[in-house]
Chain A
């Protein structure tokens, strides 16, 4: 694929399972450098797991993950922590440290990884908070924030070290329409202004398609398709079409695997 001549992240022959359940089976994914890539798919297909595999918080059963050319699957633990400094990750819940204020949460990565003076840290924290529209909320504790605000604070924390890549885990869930519009713009703006590589895991088709350069559709342990948002929206593949157009049932079943409904209700009564 010509788009991926210079991928920032490369996953080759990646297989991962949780217990008996296979999540990914020999998946190849390349995330192009400097672009916004959406990873989409129905709930429960392992999108968040994919981000954890990229961040090497989980180890694949087979295959390897290359981040900026370095293989994280065989890396030593201490080296891994230094590679992770190049990545920012926005967790679905925000995952703010509940014992620190908003200000201290954002200052945390700076205090740990840099020797900046307190005045400089203050300026950087306020700039990042201003970017997400929450400069006035600096003294609040995470428990005093709404879910959407917590996510924006977490975004400020994720970008405070100016990472090379940001991973967003379901960034659009639970945002009100106003904050949503701002967030969508913000992700795009950050990517272009800071020359980042962005990965968005989401099942919000409209928002993700509107800011992504490329989209992967995953489902059923495989990559179903890859291309520009337009290509994906116009895809002929029935499984991709079902997801992108939000059809309730199709080749990808709405039901979690189960035995026959009729048999289940009227059957032997072994329950």
Chain B
């Protein structure tokens, strides 16, 4: 009985701590992105972050997109050719990428590539008292450090997802058309007929906007809230990748159910 109570208490405490952290993260984000900007030329800070968060992620995103498109095309061809409908490879590749793999895989890669970097950077700034000294200079680190990083991630994600899907479709064409010999006209034609802008492309963009918001929010909050020691920062970085991945996959199911599940 005693042990059971202790377990229950632990569970309760973990729950409370979780909600407390959620509350802190909401307060942090609202302080960061609402209200007057402290720094006049904030767009320059934003540009610098867009470069390091977005542009520097381009390599991993395009290479991954290319390979995923190629694999999809190869697998799709092998299955569809048994029904004699290999012309539909283009449709399959495009729908898979635009609806699912584009937003989801981009978000997962982004969490690993950029999210972890954001967490480590902000956490280290905290550990080396840079955030504290900024506060004492009279500059709000939420506005100066957190806000531009958050917006950069939020803006980059949908663009990266679009690039991922586009490169993937071209990779699919490379394998399907140039290597396996699907008729080029049907690869593109079937794709054009079956992919709708509002139902597929727009829904994919909405997904990646949501993922961009969530992943960047988790990343900046974990950095800002990290315990300022080497162990604390390493745990925060791990948490960023784990929480972001779980959040992306979980939200993807919910969003898919709402968008395509006929709910």
Contacts and interface: CB of A to CB of B under 8 A. Distances in A.
B170 interface: no
A173 B140 CA distance: 28
B138 A109 contact: yes
B186 interface: no
A98 interface: yes
A82 interface: yes
B39 A112 contact: yes
A96 B140 CA distance: 16
Interface in A92-131: 92-93, 95-98, 108-109, 112-113
A81 B138 contact: yes
A82 B135 CA distance: 10
A85 B139 CA distance: 9
A57 B136 contact: yes
B52 to A, nearest CB: 10
Interface stretch (B10-18, B88-96, B124-132, B255-263): B124-132
Interface in B127-151: 128-130, 132-140
A157 B134 CA distance: 11
Interface residues of A, number: 26
Contacts of B140: 77, 81
Interface in A123-174: 154, 157, 161
A64 interface: no
Contacts of B130: 95-98
A81 B129 contact: no
B113 interface: no
B202 interface: no
A109 B128 contact: no
B38 interface: yes
Contacts of B139: 81, 112
B239 interface: no
A86 to B, nearest CB: 9
B31 interface: yes
Contacts of B35: 78
A112 B136 CA distance: 13
Contacts of B137: 84-85, 108-109, 112, 157, 161
A92 B136 CA distance: 14
B129 A95 contact: yes
A157 B129 CA distance: 15
A98 B128 contact: yes
Contact of B132 (A57, A82, A98): A57
Contacts of B136: 55, 57, 84, 87-89
Contacts of B39: 112
B132 A81 contact: no
A70 to B, nearest CB: 15
A89 B136 CA distance: 7
Interface in B70-105: none
A85 B135 CA distance: 9
A84 B135 contact: yes
A146 to B, nearest CB: 16
A77 B31 contact: yes
A91 B137 CA distance: 12
Contacts of A96: 130, 133
A92 B31 CA distance: 28
B180 to A, nearest CB: 49
Given A77-B31, A112-B38, A82 B138 contact: yes
Interface in A39-90: 52, 55, 57, 77-78, 81-82, 84-85, 87-89
Given A81-B38, A82-B138, 18 more contacts: A57-B136, A77-B140, A81-B135, A84-B138, A87-B136, A89-B133, A91-B132, A92-B129, A95-B129, A95-B130, A96-B133, A97-B134, A98-B130, A108-B137, A113-B138, A154-B133, A157-B137, A161-B137
11 contacts: A81-B138, A81-B139, A84-B136, A87-B136, A91-B132, A92-B129, A93-B129, A96-B133, A98-B128, A98-B130, A157-B137
Interface of B: 31, 35-36, 38-39, 128-130, 132-140
Interface of A: 52, 55, 57, 77-78, 81-82, 84-85, 87-89, 91-93, 95-98, 108-109, 112-113, 154, 157, 161
Q: Across chains A and B, which 4 residue pairs bring their CB atoms closest together, nearest first?
A: A95-B133, A95-B129, A85-B138, A89-B136
